[in-house]
Structure 1
Amino acid sequence: MIVCLRLFTALCLAALLAACASSPSSSLGELPRTPDASLEQLLQQASASQDPQEAALLRLSAADLAMRQQINERAAQILAQVPVDQLKPAQQVFASTLAAELAMNRNDPKAALTALSHPSVARLDEMPADLQVRTHTVHARALEADDQTLAAARERVAMSAHLTGDSANSNNEAIWTLVAALPVEQLQASGNDVLGGWMSLALAVKRAGTVQEQQTAIDQWRAQNPAHPAAIQLPTPLVKLKELASQPLTKIALLLPQEGQLASVSKALRDGFVAAHYQAQQAGQNPPSIQFYDSSRLTSLDDFYRQAQADGVQLVVGPLEKTLVKQLNARSQLPITTLALNYSEGTKGPAQLFQFGLAAEDEAREVARRARADGLTRAGAMVPKGEWGERVLNAFRQEWVAHGGSVVGIEYIDQPVALAQQVGDLVQQRKNSSEPMQFLFLAATPQQAQQIKPTLNYQYASDLPVYATSHVFSASGNQDQYNDMNGVRFCETPWLLEPGNPLRQQVAAQWPQAAGSLGRLYAMGVDAYTLTSRLGQLKALPDSRIDGLSGSLGMSPTQHVERQLPWAEFVNGQVQRLPDTPN
């Protein structure tokens, strides 16, 4: 009986071995495949095998099975027992791909890219199609997570020839998402291959202004590239653009308070909005008409929307009041698409609500992007004490930590007399730390910054870079105010950093205050007008951006318009423009 059991077991194990490997493929070697066996059976057979090649194939199958069962740590342990350098090329590619997939499962794209740098992967185009697709897929995911967008698109294009049906369509959608996120300068380097076609399509869409112009550009591109995958089946966002082009905007409601605490802010926004409207008329466009409504006299949002609908309004710009924006955000839907000129905190609002404002959080995230682009990893922070300072600090910290940075010291600006001690505490911490801060994130008024920077110099920390929000810049034209802030870098609106802009010059000639700090509000008004014709574009093309006068504008998944800003530095009391933050 025992002899019979042994014979039966041996036959089962032999069949198991045959199921674990594909047929021989010349010098590339056999590929493992998921067998009809349990994880433990595979591991037992691998341990019992006298053939190193068979044992390696069984362990590769076991590791692959463990990963598919979401037992990632076990999969990694099994894979570590496989002598990859002793395997044949196809097996090495399989092992490298599996290691990369496990790395991505633990959110480690750099480890995935290291795994895929194995020399065998250079022979990927000799491998079976299913392995090619699997390797290209994880490579694209890792590159995208590592912000190597163009390389990720290239990987997806490379595997597209092996895909059909829904898989091909999904891959093409992913290619478009990647290519649409590339800056214009990278798109201009396109060739005549398939990837070049994708890039030239994205460039055509980005160069066009209105939705109608974008539709014309898409039609022309399709006529020139009839055999391209994107011409055969347009990516979904471009189909949505086509739908938008058939719905021209003819009437806008501008809902702003004419009385109360926000009246002066409202006036600057309104003047900027109307100035942009007149500029469009002068350029020979046919802009929509504007109807003005006073939000300070509102008794009911429902009554307002009923009146706006009766007046033929297709888009509402406003309100400005945060309480009203919160009310809109809490609704399940709105009767008219609305661009609110403030932000509500919390969850995403109705699909018809977009939100835009001069959020300090945008600037905090911009500081994080800039410092990261400059190669820095450890930050100190000084922000005002209170709710505003906490919001700004949290926005900076989230963006900073999400990309591998650390915050090694924080001080909350409170009373002026305590500033020197607070700066001294940060400097002392920097001196005593084994991993000292490399720069200071500063959100402060010009008056506070005038004390903080000289104190840093006095504390022998003049070499500590300071990256600040726009709040350090009053745009007063008083050079003496900035003499003590040499070297402080800050982000600011294009409106205040580009005085030669024709629209800015025209507005400032009529309203001189637009050349000062109020200019940020005029810029926001101009950009709000620009957004009226581009909201559909930003929603349909989530990675696209608009070069505005309050910043480079993009849209978050919660339909908040977010700004990226240019940079400047105080040099001998003067404001000196710096190169933009690399994408």
Structure 2
Amino acid sequence: MIARLRPLLLLCLVGLLAACASSSNSVGELPRTPQASIEQLLQQAGDAQTEEANLLRLSAADQAYKQKDIGRSSSILEQVQLETLKPAQQIFASTLAAELALARKNPKAALQALSHPSFERLGELPVEQQIRSQLTRAKALEQDGQLLAAARERIYIAPLLSDATAASNHEAIWALVSRLPANQLQTTGDADLTGWLALASASKSAATLEQQQAAIDNWVATHPAHPAAVQLPKPLQDLKQLSSEPIGQIALLLPQEGKLSSVGRALRDGFMAAYYQAQQAGETLPDVQIYDSSRIRSMDSFYQQAQSAGTQLVIGPLEKELVTQLSSREQLPITTLALNYSQNEQEAPPQLFQFGLAAEDEAREAARRAWSDGMRRAIALAPSGDWGNRVLAAFRQSWEAQGGELLAAQSIAQPVELAQQIGKLLQLRQSEARSKSIEEKLGTEVAAQPSRRQDVDFMFLAATPQQAQQIKPTLVFQYAGDMPVYATSTLNSGVYNQAQYLDMEGIEFSETPWMLNTDDPTRQLIINQWPQAGGSLGRLYAMGADAFILAPRLDQLKALPSTRIDGLTGSLSLDAQQRVVRQLPWAQFTGGQIQRLPDTPLD
């Protein structure tokens, strides 16, 4: 019986090999990696338009790309007509085109290249090409801000990877999911992806370092076979190595008298409200001693007093001059979380951390959001004076660093001049002048209304509620009612005013989670105790509560720069100067109400 089956088996094997050969021929060959130079490859290709010549050109373009000669690679690739290639070569060329687009920071062009119909046959190509194409797609999705899709792509390709590439991809998956906003950490149809998202959620949800470590340990116990449990991402391994020695004594240094006393009280009350809430939850907490910074004559004397009392962490001061004074020192005797930012540009002592509600953060956030939305050319309105200058400078620096163009900027003047200023920004006067010139030449009236400049994508606005209430209607009057406006939270008073909200219809603005998450338990607790926290002053109570959350996590933020803490003032991280940076959610005035907008991926 076995002998009789052999000829049939042989016949089937021959047929299978023939089918594979036919499939290989139809999909085509990939360019080889020859030892020849770029010049030799191009010389060998000559002017011929044969398949072999195109393979040589693709090899030359690829070699130029690997040598980081983006211009030359692009030039060579342009000589190859994509439609004349076989599918394998189309995939290779399109992947290379995507890599070149990413090198030019153009992810949309990269994704367009990767959408070529030939990719339907990617699975027929060698594993190396499959990996290259799919990792390129993952990088393009990430660069385009599609972090969840990028993570999904990397998870899909993970089984094909090995050694260093597999390890790098593993860490990249964690870097992607850890940057996702909380509303995207939901269950999916993919078990591996759902596990990654659950790990990210577990690492974000804990208030203290010890709770975070416990949440991660619990996730590992419930997902023992998951790739991230088998090999915990390095930032989470490092987290476990951080000292979990609890802080025993905190000094809260805030002004209780003078012009900053109301701010100091709001920060103190927010801090203590979060403290008592944690206490009721059964957490082991440090002792807190409150000091009046308005009575301090010497920071040296204060530190001596605090050290004598066993203080391990100082939270404060609030006064900018005191923070600036501390930042100019080489060392501090006690780790200090200042509640303001220094005016010094020099490097601060390693024991000093700085946290505040800086409007510059919101200007940078506006630049990030607008760029993510596809905007590229901006105009700006900001108040005159030091505050407005700092906000505008922060927006300009961040916007131009991304590649955006700030076409014009104006300082907000009195209402009587506002229409003229906006008209100048929009170049409306030039439009009116052109119409008048045409009328004079024709000797008759021209039925044409002025039009604004068309090279502006949006306006960046830093303004008070009263100023913003005048600006949006002025834009409508100046034929720019359809122009997107990205603003800072300064235009939101926190007190419901339907008429004012209607006047600001369509304006998008960054805002603290405190002002948008009205059902947050800490917020409700504070407002029940201090009703004035329901208005704009609430942001200071939120900052006080976040200072309590930050207190035990400073070492973590310093050791693990990718760490983010979801607070009431924003998603908090630490920059290289040990300044706490806030990334904020967004909202929009819609129909006389404030509507929260979908969160975008974190930086």
Q: TM-score range, shorter-chain basis? A: 0.7 to 0.9
Q: Does 1:289 align with 2:314?
A: no
3-state SS, counterpart of residue 129 of structure 2? helix
3-state SS, counterpart of residue 463 of structure 2? coil
Classify 1:427/1:250 alpha carbon distance in 2 versus 1 (closer, same or farther; 3 Å). Answer: same
- Determine the C-alpha separation between the residues in 1 that align with 2:251 and 2:426: 52
Q: Does 1:562 align with 2:551?
A: no
Partner of 2:226: 228
- Determine the C-alpha separation between the residues in 2 that align with 1:403 and 1:85: 34
Percentage of identical aligned residues? 59
Partner of 1:267: 265
- Determine the C-alpha separation between the residues in 2 that align with 1:459 and 1:81: 48
- Determine the C-alpha separation between the residues in 1 that align with 2:473 and 2:419: 10
TM-score by length of 2: 0.80
Partner of 2:445: none
Specify which of 559, 578, 582 is matched with residue 595 of structure 2. 578
Alignment coverage as a number of residue pairs:
557
Partner of 2:412: 413
Partner of 1:30: 29
> How many Å apart are 1:169 and its aligned residue?
1.6
- Determine the C-alpha separation between the residues in 1 that align with 2:95 and 2:479: 51
Partner of 1:166: 164
Q: For residues 443-485 of structure 1, give each alpha carbon's deviation from its aligned partner in whole angstroms, at most 9, with x where no partner exists.
A: 2234444554565566676666655433334456788877866
**Mapping 1:69-468, distance limit 5 Å:** 69-244=67-242, 246-296=244-294, 308-309=306-307, 311-329=309-327, 336-344=334-342, 346=345, 349=348, 352-368=351-367, 379-400=378-399, 407-415=406-414, 417-426=416-425, 429=428, 431-435=450-454, 437=456, 440-449=459-468, 451-453=470-472, 455=474, 467-468=486-487
- Determine the C-alpha separation between the residues in 1 that align with 2:278 and 2:498: 36
Q: For residues 96-154 of structure 1, give each alpha carbon's deviation from its aligned partner in whole angstroms, at most 9, with x where no partner exists.
A: 22222222222222222222222222332332222222222222211111011122112
Does structure 2 retain, via aligned residues, the 8 Å contact 1:366–1:565?
A: no
- Determine the C-alpha separation between the residues in 1 that align with 2:419 and 2:494: 26
Q: Does 1:521 align with 2:519?
A: no
**Mapping 1:528-567, distance limit 5 Å:** 528-535=547-554, 538=557, 545-556=564-575, 558-559=577-578, 560-567=580-587
Does structure 2 retain, via aligned residues, the 8 Å contact 1:116–1:139?
A: yes
3-state SS, counterpart of residue 419 of structure 1? helix
3-state SS, counterpart of residue 578 of structure 1? strand
Classify 1:83/1:244 alpha carbon distance in 2 versus 1 (closer, same or farther; 3 Å). Answer: same
Structure 1 counterpart of 2:102, one-letter code: M
Structure 1, unaligned runs of 5 or more: 1-22
Structure 1 counterpart of 2:356, one-letter code: G
- Determine the C-alpha separation between the residues in 2 that align with 1:153 and 1:170: 13
Structure 2 counterpart of 1:524, one-letter code: M
Partner of 1:15: none
Classify 1:130/1:358 alpha carbon distance in 2 versus 1 (closer, same or farther; 3 Å). Answer: same
Classify 1:120/1:247 alpha carbon distance in 2 versus 1 (closer, same or farther; 3 Å). Answer: farther
Classify 1:136/1:539 alpha carbon distance in 2 versus 1 (closer, same or farther; 3 Å). Answer: farther
> How many Å apart are 1:441 and its aligned residue?
3.4
3-state SS, counterpart of residue 411 of structure 2? strand
- Determine the C-alpha separation between the residues in 1 that align with 2:113 and 2:322: 52
Does structure 1 retain, via aligned residues, the 8 Å contact 2:557–2:574?
A: yes
Q: For residues 188-225 of structure 1, give each alpha carbon's deviation from its aligned partner in whole angstroms, at most 9, with x where no partner exists.
A: 13345433332232233233443223222222222333
Classify 1:154/1:329 alpha carbon distance in 2 versus 1 (closer, same or farther; 3 Å). Answer: farther
Structure 2 counterpart of 1:43, one-letter code: L
Does structure 2 retain, via aligned residues, the 8 Å contact 1:237–1:540?
A: no
Classify 1:307/1:234 alpha carbon distance in 2 versus 1 (closer, same or farther; 3 Å). Answer: farther
> How many Å apart are 1:176 and its aligned residue?
0.5
Q: CA RMSD in A?
A: 3.7
Structure 2 counterpart of 1:74, one-letter code: R
Classify 1:377/1:239 alpha carbon distance in 2 versus 1 (closer, same or farther; 3 Å). Answer: same
Higher deviation after alignment, 342-351 or 137-146: 342-351
- Determine the C-alpha separation between the residues in 2 that align with 1:171 and 1:489: 36
Partner of 1:20: none
Structure 2, unaligned runs of 5 or more: 1-20, 432-449
Does structure 1 retain, via aligned residues, the 8 Å contact 2:489–2:511?
A: yes
3-state SS, counterpart of residue 178 of structure 1? helix
Classify 1:483/1:186 alpha carbon distance in 2 versus 1 (closer, same or farther; 3 Å). Answer: closer
- Determine the C-alpha separation between the residues in 1 that align with 2:42 and 2:22: 22
Q: For residues 495-515 of structure 1, give each alpha carbon's deviation from its aligned partner in whole angstroms, at most 9, with x where no partner exists.
A: 455666554454445545434
> How many Å apart are 1:412 and its aligned residue?
0.8
Does structure 2 retain, via aligned residues, the 8 Å contact 1:206–1:544?
A: no
Classify 1:481/1:119 alpha carbon distance in 2 versus 1 (closer, same or farther; 3 Å). Answer: closer
Structure 1 counterpart of 2:107, one-letter code: P
- Determine the C-alpha separation between the residues in 1 that align with 2:148 and 2:497: 45
Structure 1 counterpart of 2:587, one-letter code: W
Does structure 1 retain, via aligned residues, the 8 Å contact 2:364–2:398?
A: yes
Q: For residues 358-410 of structure 1, give each alpha carbon's deviation from its aligned partner in whole angstroms, at most 9, with x where no partner exists.
A: 11123334445666677766544321112321221233344555667654543
3-state SS, counterpart of residue 102 of structure 2? helix
TM-score by length of 1: 0.82
> How many Å apart are 1:442 and its aligned residue?
2.9
Structure 2 counterpart of 1:471, one-letter code: T
Partner of 2:490: 471
Higher deviation after alignment, 505-514 or 358-367: 505-514
- Determine the C-alpha separation between the residues in 1 that align with 2:161 and 2:502: 62
3-state SS, counterpart of residue 289 of structure 2? strand
Does structure 1 retain, via aligned residues, the 8 Å contact 2:506–2:588?
A: no
Classify 1:24/1:480 alpha carbon distance in 2 versus 1 (closer, same or farther; 3 Å). Answer: closer
- Determine the C-alpha separation between the residues in 2 that align with 1:485 and 1:85: 51
Does structure 1 retain, via aligned residues, the 8 Å contact 2:484–2:507?
A: yes
Structure 1 counterpart of 2:544, one-letter code: G
Classify 1:120/1:495 alpha carbon distance in 2 versus 1 (closer, same or farther; 3 Å). Answer: closer
Classify 1:204/1:47 alpha carbon distance in 2 versus 1 (closer, same or farther; 3 Å). Answer: same
